[in-house]
Structure 1
Amino acid sequence: MTEPRPGAAAAGSWQVVVLGALIVVAEGYDLIVYGALLPKLVAEPGWHLTSTSAGSIGSLVYLGMLVGALAGGPVCDRVGRRNFVNASVAWFTLWTAASALAQAPWQLGGARLLTGVGMGAVIPAAVALVKEYSPGRRTGLVVTILMAGIPLGGTAASLLGIGLLGTHGWRLMFLVGAAISLLILVLSLVRLPESAGFGTRQDTVAAPRPSAVTTFAALFRERRALLTVLFAVATFANMLTWYGLNTWLTTLMRELHYPLGSALTFSLCLNAGAIAGSLVLVLAAHRWGLRVVAAVCGALTAAGILVCAAGPQQTGTLLATITVIGASTQTALTLILASVADSYPTRMRASAVGWANGTGRAGAVLAPALGGAILAAGLAPRGVFFAFAASALVAALVMAMLAAQGRRTGPVVEPALAEARS
């Protein structure tokens, strides 16, 4: 068989990265749009929603993502990346459209739960796919570009909400998300290839493919158990911090008597920092290593949260600090997932990313309730800040431990696949 020209191979790699990023943009929009719709949902005639019940409906998408990530990774490792990615996008597109048609709160909650299953399933598959089309030393860069799609989609949802919500209502926002997802699905069906690594493995391994359960169990064998557990702790702590801040930052700062205008200001600072900052910090990861920079980002997040808790008097200082928090928290999550992709062989890579991302989603589910419980206990807003600073520090310490271990073991190298790409 004729070997592909290096330039063609590189172009194919970036095509996969761009398509993966577009898929994650669609997911980011569908995931974050709910927050922009809350005021309209609470005012929906006949639904009688309160802020609490509307928030409970919103949390169902994260529960669905937890299930999708944990269950989807092993299935993806069995059936292949391309078909699984496309099926997952089709699934969350369908249920995003269904959300627009909901006639009662329970219908919206069910649709959001099922939307989350598809969202949670697609991330491990997309990360595995772009990893297997990219040189090893570029893992951090390509996964950063991929994961930047979530804040990009969230920013698009916020900006479209400003223009459409007041005149067209909340249903159109879901329909726009479904339309965006459908267009990207069509493009993916036409242009997204199968994973080079998965195809090579299927061509060279004659034995029957292991079951999804066997693939998942392998994450805890061959001296991988500690590695697998530590990655789970790191993603859980990181997402607890990130989604806790997304939920409570505006409320906490208002209780600390800051005269900032709207929640959109905070959201834009967090998302702008997450997008721009992560692309800058990944260059440091290319030089010093994924795990080292992830640990540093966790420490920066903790420090930034403590600055917010201290109550800087200058608005500019506060906004700059929030931007740094967005950059460091998003980068830490991206580099953790990139490190997971680097640490496991092709046959179980999506399972490993799904495990890490799925257990992390448990942190996303817990975060809103944790902040509320701390405030309900009569503790000051600073108590919530301290809790999320502590979780950021836990993520930093775990990644520092993994960085020390990585110096001794290094990332997984698959010579046959490397030769096939070169």
Structure 2
Amino acid sequence: MRMWSAVAICALVVVAEGYDLIVYGALLPSLLQEPGWELTRASAGTLGSAAYVGMLVGALAVGRRSDLSGRRPFVLGSVAWFTLWTIASAVAAAPWQLGAFRLLAGIGMGAVLPVVLALARELAPADRTGAVFTVLMAGLPAGGMLASLTGLVVLPVGGWRVMFLIGGVASVAILVVAFLWLPDSADYRGRAPEPISASMLFAPGLRLSTMVFPLANLMMLLTWYGLNTWLTQLMRDLSYPLSSALQFSTVLNLGALTGSFALAALTLRWSTRRVAGLSALLTGLGILGCVLHPGSTVVFLSLIALIGAGAHSALNLITASVADAYPVALRATAIGWTHGVGRVGAIISPSLGGWILEAGLGPTMVLGAFMVTALLGSVCMGLLSMGPHR
């Protein structure tokens, strides 16, 4: 029971990150209309990439340090850091300020995720990695869904600045809970693990995993965050009103939240890597269905839910596979490496959508680009499924 309480606190941390990260997509239509800012879709996409640049830096910088000296201090410090800069985003007076604050917040977001994932893996039984990571990573779409639902109520009356303030206040509350009740890993209570060089990631038995896991993660992060950034605007371009467009974003994250548990249940029969590949494939097929323009709104919403379930499950299970593939002394380093390289996809995705739209190719081409990246992610996990740790 104590283990699941600790996992629940870790999940709350991920919820805070999910809200503070994904809220930008819900705010995008409002930011494009902000007086005096004169944002284009391309510049708004570049601005949206700032947080992901910070996440790349944070993921690569902190994972190794926590492998050497413990998890809890880095979880608390990272949450405090991204909370501070999320609140600062609410008072940004110009686009460059918002971009700078989002980049700084992204450093904390990128730092906390590999550490909190490694901590949860070490607090949980070894045979429950898939279930624990699914519970934990459900916090990202839960935070995104909260951002979308909050936007439906707050944006018409309070504007986009209030949305950042709400995220900051909620993160402060979660930080207090983590400070009071989050334990450290048993591996770091009173002693540090035997140091292992980070170069061991590329040892012969780990080399393929160290190269392909990040590539799979890159493709799925590009797909997931690209959709989270642009889906609301894409739906408006397809002539849906703002409230309906935000509902599509809500369905995307609701599908991720609920569908990931169903797909995680398959890991009881199949390997985690194979289910990750299947999840990525379902994502690509769901996007293909949207590209074909189904006439029914119900069908369209169902496809959006399938995309959310598939993309988020693939990300969960890629990370779970990484956690199982590496020893304790390399675990956060490996997760940080996988997430850090993967963040290149998250950095590209907002700009990619903006470039395609600015080129006049339309929302269908944006969806098509993300379909291709999802299918490439499936191919990567299929390759790893044929390895010795299937």
For Structure 1 versus Structure 2, the TM-score category normalised by the shorter chain is over 0.9
Q: CA deviation at 1:352?
A: 0.7
Q: Paired residues, what number?
A: 390
Separation (CA, whole Å) in 2 of partners of 1:308 and 1:170: 29
Work out whether 1:369 is the aligned partner of 2:361: no
Q: CA deviation at 1:254?
A: 6.0
Q: CA deviation at 1:46?
A: 4.3
Change (3 A) 1:35 1:301: closer
**SS of match in other structure, 2:386:** helix
2:122 to 132, 150, 168: 132
Q: CA deviation at 1:98?
A: 1.5
Residue in 1 that maps onto 2:160 = 170
Instruction: Give the residue type in structure 1 aligned to 2:63.
Output: G
1:392 to 374, 378, 384: 374
Instruction: Give the residue type in structure 1 aligned to 2:11.
Output: A
Work out whether 1:276 is the aligned partner of 2:254: no
Residue in 2 that maps onto 1:113 = 103
Separation (CA, whole Å) in 1 of partners of 2:121 and 2:231: 34
Q: CA deviation at 1:136?
A: 1.6
2:68 to 64, 78, 82: 78
Residue in 1 that maps onto 2:151 = 161
Separation (CA, whole Å) in 1 of partners of 2:118 and 2:356: 38
Cα distance per residue 1:339-369 (max 9 Å; x no partner): 1011100001011111111111111111233
Cα distance per residue 1:204-227 (max 9 Å; x no partner): x5x6x45xxx32x22112431211
Instruction: Give the residue type in structure 2 aligned to 1:129.
Output: L
Residue in 2 that maps onto 1:180 = 170
2:78 to 88, 91, 99: 88
Separation (CA, whole Å) in 2 of partners of 1:166 and 1:258: 17
Separation (CA, whole Å) in 2 of partners of 1:165 and 1:377: 29
Instruction: Give the residue type in structure 1 aligned to 2:87.
Output: A
Change (3 A) 1:153 1:199: same
TM-score by length of 1: 0.86
Separation (CA, whole Å) in 1 of partners of 2:314 and 2:324: 15
Computed over aligned residues only, the root mean square deviation of the Cα atoms, in angstroms, reads: 2.3
Change (3 A) 1:200 1:306: farther
Instruction: Give the residue type in structure 1 aligned to 2:17.
Output: E
Q: Does the aligned pair in 2 maintain the 1:137–1:286 contact within 8 Å? A: no
Separation (CA, whole Å) in 2 of partners of 1:31 and 1:42: 18
| Structure 1 segment 13-52 matched on structure 2, within 5 A | 13-52=3-42
Q: Does the aligned pair in 1 maintain the 2:235–2:245 contact within 8 Å? A: no
Higher RCO, 1 vs 2 (CA within 8 Å, ≥6 residues apart): 2
* Aligned-residue identity in percent: 53
2:287 to 301, 305, 314: 305
Separation (CA, whole Å) in 2 of partners of 1:409 and 1:87: 34
1:237 to 219, 222, 237: 219
**SS of match in other structure, 2:269:** helix
**SS of match in other structure, 1:262:** helix
Q: Does the aligned pair in 1 maintain the 2:22–2:228 contact within 8 Å? A: no
Unaligned 5+ segments in structure 2 are none
Q: Does the aligned pair in 1 maintain the 2:42–2:358 contact within 8 Å? A: no
Q: Does the aligned pair in 1 maintain the 2:42–2:354 contact within 8 Å? A: no
Change (3 A) 1:317 1:191: same
TM-score by length of 2: 0.92
Work out whether 1:122 is the aligned partner of 2:104: no
Q: Does the aligned pair in 2 maintain the 1:198–1:346 contact within 8 Å? A: no
Q: CA deviation at 1:91?
A: 0.6
**SS of match in other structure, 2:294:** coil
Q: Does the aligned pair in 2 maintain the 1:256–1:311 contact within 8 Å? A: no
Q: Does the aligned pair in 2 maintain the 1:239–1:364 contact within 8 Å? A: yes
| Structure 1 segment 192-341 matched on structure 2, within 5 A | 192-199=182-189, 202=192, 209=195, 214-215=197-198, 217-249=199-231, 252=234, 262-341=244-323
Q: CA deviation at 1:337?
A: 0.4
Separation (CA, whole Å) in 2 of partners of 1:200 and 1:113: 35
